[in-house]
A and B are shown apart, each in its own frame.
Chain A
Amino acid sequence: MSQQFFKRKRHDSSSSTENYDHLHVSSDLKTNVAEIKNILGESIDVKIVEFLEMPIPFSICYIEGLINKQQLELSIIEPIKRTQLANKKLQPKELIHQTEVSAMISPCPHFDLIITPVLKGQVIIFVDGMTEAYSIPLETWETRGVEEPEAQTMVRGPREGFIETLQTNTTLLRRRISNPTLRFKAFEVGKITKTTILVSYLESQVDQEVLQEVIKRVSNLNTDKIFESGMLEELIDENGYSPFPTFQSTERPDVAAAALSEGNVVIMFEGTPFVLITPTTFISFFQAAEDYYHHFDLSSFIRVIRVISFMISLALPAAYIAVTTFHQELIPTNLLVSLAAQREGVPFPAFVEALVMETIFEILREAGIRMPRPIGSAVSIVGAIVIGESAVAAGLVSPAIVIVVSLTAISSFVSPYYGFSGAARLLRFVLMILAATTGIFGMIFFMIGLLIHLCSLTSMGKPYFTPLAPFQSGKQKDSLLRLPLWWTQTKLHRKWVKKS
């Protein structure tokens, strides 16, 4: 009963906002202006300028702040006035055609072709006696400059990052890929927000199956509001409950360009610098763009380090708990004696110790992100003293667990993609509970389950764990290791660089 009620209500609300869908532009200027005022309401940023004393009366409608006012004055209003005054016998039909207004002018006979453009920053001209309005794009608004991305930094590589404006972002991509097959397809999502998203791909490279899947999911998205690519990611993800991200989000144009060139689809989003890359694989979260800019041996080494640190951040506290409380025989004797000496007098079991320290660390991390910047140093000092020194000195925790927790914390920052390390962060706690109840047996159980889960995941219908499972020998050259570029790109000719 209640479901039906909600359904009906939602239906009603949507119909009320779209009741201008088939409304024709009237030949009477006043009717049109009244209609616009009716639809957009008495908002102070909606400007309607009327020129009723002119031989052919006309009105101009725009949104304050979305357009270039100076240009409106100089290249629209002035020329129209001048044309009218120069030729008094001008018919309304000829007015716009005889005026050199703008080449980008387009006629709009319906109100649905007027409302959305005006909200996106176009100028609408109503002319008395005409049954169509005209829209002229004059979008200009305050944007942030292209700056270095903050969430994904690198030592070597371009310093440009995507910004919140789609137009700039497409430019950034175009500048990197001057390929005629680069396509941007616009979609509008969110019944309330009407957000523009762009599905971009290289026609010559893209997997059509994936592209169709992306378009299907995006265009069938039945949501009211959407503000960031993360929301889109969650809404069109087929593995909603998995902690592992199946979209790669980046704010680096070079990463997005590389993804496009490899045949992936990049979804760009108005209002956020983060774009989504799909389909993606588990391994790709260990691959930073920088890997390709550095020498291959260093990059391969660093990739191995990333995998190790992922394992550390996932399993080290659990392994410590399991080994010290269940499998003491696995520790070398001297280390065991040393660990035992540290544990003397510690009041809590190793599990509680680890859990408390991990939780304290997560609190510090969250505080570090949320707090106002000027207080940053205070938190880090308190954190370092509380965790590092005092807890040990007070005999609350053993020094070994401090090492374990800090190593885990540092390892969790190694992944080039923040969202991915979140999976390890969450699963770490589950693994710790299993380790504390069933030891290494439970950990292995969990790891097997995790592998099964990873192998069952798909990203836009493509296997997530490839090229490891299903194993693709050809793609191993650039998965866990990055082998030289002249190995991975088979068509590459390198004869002229060979030593003679």
Chain B
Amino acid sequence: MRRWNIVAVIISCALILSGCAGRIELNELIIVSSIGVDYKKDKTIVHFQVVNPGGTAGGQGGAPSGGSGGSVYTYTVSGETLYDAVEKGRNILPRKLLFSHITSVIIGEKYARTKGIAPIFDFLERNHEVRDNLIMFVAKNSTAKNILSIYTPIFKNPGESLKNRVRLAATSTGISDGIKEKDVVRWRYGEFRDPVIQGVEIVQINDSQSETSNLENINANDKTYRISGLAVFNKEKMVTWLNNDQTRGWSIINQRVKDIFILSHKCDSQKGNVGFMVKSVDSKTKVLYKDGKLKYVVNVKGKAILQEVTCAVDVGNPMALLEMEKRVNEELASHIKSTVRKAQKEKTDVFGFGKLLYNKHPEVWKKYKENWKEEFSDVELETNVSIKLESVGARVETIHEQK
């Protein structure tokens, strides 16, 4: 009997003292899908893109609220710092914010260049609700506000649309899963490397065709955005952009290519294009230390499948195919070289070359450590790209040979 009394007391204490702490109903919450951060006149401006469940989950016949209104709304608040803005946001937001379903964080280019990413990451890392696999973006030539002011077709939730675009755009950028918060956090800790963040830019439908693959130009709206390039940070502050070819170079060196990417270039001295699908890309970077000089060797292996030939090449001829293969290799090598050159110009080690050196020759690293940024910009690079043409596809003749 006494034992039961004790058990009853413990159970009622557990139930009553906890008092449903932390309990919140779904209709008292507002799901944040994206956060945007902008900089304006010394103030941090934060945009919360929140999901309107009624407008997003279509076809709810029974729900009395009905599926009315837009799918998402963007609230904008300003404050001294990020958290100050979040705090002030509580005055204008109708419900409690739920941060655990954020899919993307968009940083305005101006904020990235002037304030840097440190304040954002302090908040993102500290907050227990924010996930570490959200995708980071920098709004290229734009503000986060502009990016978050676009409704996207197909996907009712623009954050989800953005996330999916990253996956699709991997065929051009090579970065399969996007640059996530945890990647940047990892890069920012330690002394070895500088972070990069993917860019997203607004396109008008009548814009002249860019060099990126046409996958990104399926414009169903007057206005949409596309994944474009990589923002390079000098530890905290953004310094420059890598273009799409350079982005591909970056992802090859950093072994981020998990799937395939598409390579398309003009034929030599002829009208027309050749397009390849490159797959099974495997890259290895080695550091050589010889006579007081550093040399990095990037070895890339992979397979390519011919996707398109619009110039007059004899595809049936093995020599012509070898020629084609050589062109592909040269093309990729030039992308890699241009990436490294660009990074060296800005003195930002976005490849982890310093880390590589530390792993291989720790004593040499000690010497270079203090002045690594300068040393990095002087290191020699060698690229060995060997992409094998695996198949010419289901058809041999080109359009010019066809009778």
Interface residues, chain A, CB within 8 Å of chain B? 324-326, 328-329, 333-334, 336-346, 349-350, 392-393, 395, 398-399, 433-434, 436-439, 442, 445
Contact = CB atoms under 8 A, between A and B. Distances in A.
B63 A345 contact: yes
Contacts of A336: 26, 31, 101
B56 A337 contact: yes
Interface size class of B (residues with CB under 8 A): 20 to 34
Interface stretch (B16-24, B107-115, B175-183, B214-222): B16-24
Contacts of A329: 98, 100-101, 129, 131
Contacts of A350: 25-26
B29 interface: yes
Contacts of B33: 333
A442 B21 CA distance: 12
Contact of B25 (A349, A392, A399): A349
Contacts of A445: 14
A398 B25 CA distance: 13
B79 interface: no
15 contacts: A324-B25, A325-B25, A325-B26, A329-B101, A333-B160, A334-B160, A340-B29, A341-B56, A341-B67, A344-B27, A349-B25, A438-B14, A438-B18, A439-B22, A439-B23
Nearest to B98: A328
A291 B167 CA distance: 47
B51 A337 contact: yes
Given A334-B160, A340-B31, 13 more contacts: A324-B26, A326-B23, A329-B101, A336-B26, A337-B157, A338-B53, A343-B26, A349-B25, A395-B63, A398-B63, A399-B63, A433-B15, A439-B23
B91 interface: no
Contact of A325 (B15, B19, B23, B65): B23
Nearest to A389: B62
B57 interface: yes
A339 B101 CA distance: 14
Contacts of A395: 62-64
Interface in B97-122: 98, 100-101, 103
Interface in B310-369: none
A329 B98 CA distance: 9
B65 A345 contact: yes
Nearest to A395: B64
A344 B100 CA distance: 20
Contact of B29 (A328, A338, A433): A328
Contacts of A339: 26
B6 to A, nearest CB: 14
Contacts of B103: 333
Contacts of B100: 328-329
Kindly name the residue among A325, A339, A350, A392 whose own CB sees the greatest number of chain B CB atoms within 10 A.
Answer: A325
Contacts of B29: 328, 340
A340 B32 CA distance: 13
Given A345-B65, A438-B14, A340 B27 contact: yes
Nearest to B21: A438
A342 B64 CA distance: 9
Nearest to B24: A325
B51 to A, nearest CB: 5
Nearest to B55: A341
B60 interface: yes
A69 B48 CA distance: 93
B54 interface: yes
A346 B53 CA distance: 14
B71 to A, nearest CB: 9
A338 B24 CA distance: 17
A442 B29 CA distance: 22
A105 B33 CA distance: 91
B23 A341 contact: no
A340 B26 contact: yes
Contacts of A442: 14
Contacts of A328: 24, 26, 29, 98, 100-101
Contacts of A439: 22-23
A439 B63 CA distance: 26
Contacts of A324: 25-26
B49 to A, nearest CB: 13
Contacts of B56: 337, 341
B15 A438 contact: yes
5 nearest A-B pairs in the assembled complex, by CB-CB distance: A329-B100, A341-B53, A344-B65, A341-B57, A340-B53
A437 B15 contact: yes
A400 to B, nearest CB: 10
A336 B101 CA distance: 9
Contacts of B57: 337-338, 340-342
Contacts of A334: 160
A333 B65 CA distance: 20
Which residue, of B15, B27, B64, B67, has the highest number of chain A Cβ atoms within 10 A? B27
Contacts of A434: 15
Interface string B365-394: 000000000000000000000000000000
A344 B23 contact: no
B98 to A, nearest CB: 6
Contact of A341 (B15, B20, B60, B160): B60
A337 B31 contact: yes
Contacts of A333: 31, 33, 101, 103, 157, 160
A342 to B, nearest CB: 6
Contacts of B131: 329
Contact of B22 (A326, A349, A433): A326
A392 B62 contact: yes
A83 B22 CA distance: 95
Given A326-B22, A329-B129, A338-B57, A343 B101 contact: no
Given A336-B101, A338-B57, A346 B23 contact: no
A336 B56 CA distance: 11
Contacts of A325: 23-26
A379 to B, nearest CB: 23
B105 to A, nearest CB: 15
Contacts of A437: 15, 18-20, 23
Contacts of B18: 437-438
A445 B67 CA distance: 39
A337 B53 contact: yes
Nearest to B159: A333
A350 B27 CA distance: 10
A346 B27 contact: yes
